A and B are shown apart, each in its own frame.
Chain A
Amino acid sequence: MLNELRRLTDHAHWADTVLLDAFRAAPQLPDEAVREYCHVLGAEEVWLSRLNKGPPARMSGPP
């Protein structure tokens, strides 16, 4: 399960990059698309901060 979750995390990175590349290439972007993209990143950031504040990230060595 850990490896699968790592894989999904890698996918999220790849997918966000794919969309960002499309944004860079677009001559003009619809505001709604940018808003949705910001929401994806914003939510990822909020969850990451929750993860980093929680016990697992602070653990060192085997729990």
Chain B
Amino acid sequence: MAEPTEQRTARSDVWPTLTLAEIEVLHGAVHAGYASYVAALNVTALDQSLAYINSAGRSFETSVRDILMHVALHGQYHRGKINLLLRQAGLAPAPTDYIAFVRGEPAAVRSGGRSVLFLHVHVRLGNRILAIHRMIVAGLVLRQPVLLAPHVCLVVLLATFEHAILAGVVVLADVFSVVPRVRMRAGTLLRCFFRLRFGVELLVARVVFVAALVIGHGSISVVGRNIGSLWAIDSYVAVSSIATRCRAALA
């Protein structure tokens, strides 16, 4: 059994009750501490064992290597729980995936229905118009960034100032990439739009999309509350279906 090198760690030390102001201070201090610690660390020191007493009063010896690994994994476990709690409270989660850290950008944007749902969760309840715009933008950015952008982004551009810059970027990118083809096939594009707007395909796509959300997210009530209205789903599905048809027509 290792000789204790410190007093027993009180349970409250690892479950402190802090105000947001205190959190800010501790956050700064802790990470400054780790930064200087790992900067001074060398390879040989990684295998040094440290003796300590855990929060339950038991003595242990653990290598620096394993302690640093534990700190990383322990943090991620609880950050996952925090994001679940934020999501359950109707707040936007803040993904902390390692890969997002490596890429230097949020990992939240993924292709597929769930990413759209995720974007939607960002939107506060009651702000359905904004939700619809976000879903359209998500559809454009994630699923069909080519053919529909000039058409749908214009709506977004006019409707929501918040998305004006994003929509503008998408519009520009798409105009530059597909203008010759769009000009040639503008009639096809319009025909696809009207046929789909009232066709059975929209209904089928809507059922499939709702099913995908339910299966993917596990709860229709969550979907129902967060999506707010099927209108929003329709907007997304309409974008998705039209893009698919247009792509096929222009192929």
Interface residues in chain B, defined as those with a beta carbon under 8 Å from any beta carbon in chain A? 5-6, 9, 13-18, 20, 23-24, 26-27, 29-31, 33-35, 37-46, 48, 50-52, 55, 64-65, 67-72, 74-76, 78-79, 81-83, 85-86, 88-89, 91-96, 98, 101
- Which residues from A are CB-within-8-Å of B27? 16-17, 20, 41
- Which residues from A are CB-within-8-Å of B92? 22, 25-26
Cβ < 8 Å to B, chain A residues 5-50 = 5-6, 8-26, 28-30, 32-50
Instruction: Please name the residue on chain A nearest to B53 by beta carbon.
Output: A50
- Which residues from B are CB-within-8-Å of A44? 30, 34, 71, 75
- Give the bracket for the number of chain A residues in contact with chain B: 35 or more
Q: How far is the CB of A7 from chain B (nearest CB, A)?
A: 9
Q: How far is the CB of A17 from chain B (nearest CB, A)?
A: 7
Of B17, B38, B43, B85, the residue contacting A9 (CB under 8 A) is B38
Q: Give CA–CA (A11, B74) in the complex, Å.
A: 13
- Which residues from B are CB-within-8-Å of A35? 15, 17
Query: Would A18 and B96 count as touching, CB distance under 8 A?
Result: yes
Query: Would A1 and B96 count as touching, CB distance under 8 A?
Result: no
Query: Would A41 and B6 count as touching, CB distance under 8 A?
Result: no
Q: Give CA–CA (A43, B174) in the complex, Å.
A: 48
A37 and B23 in contact (CB under 8 A), knowing A1-B46, A22-B93? yes
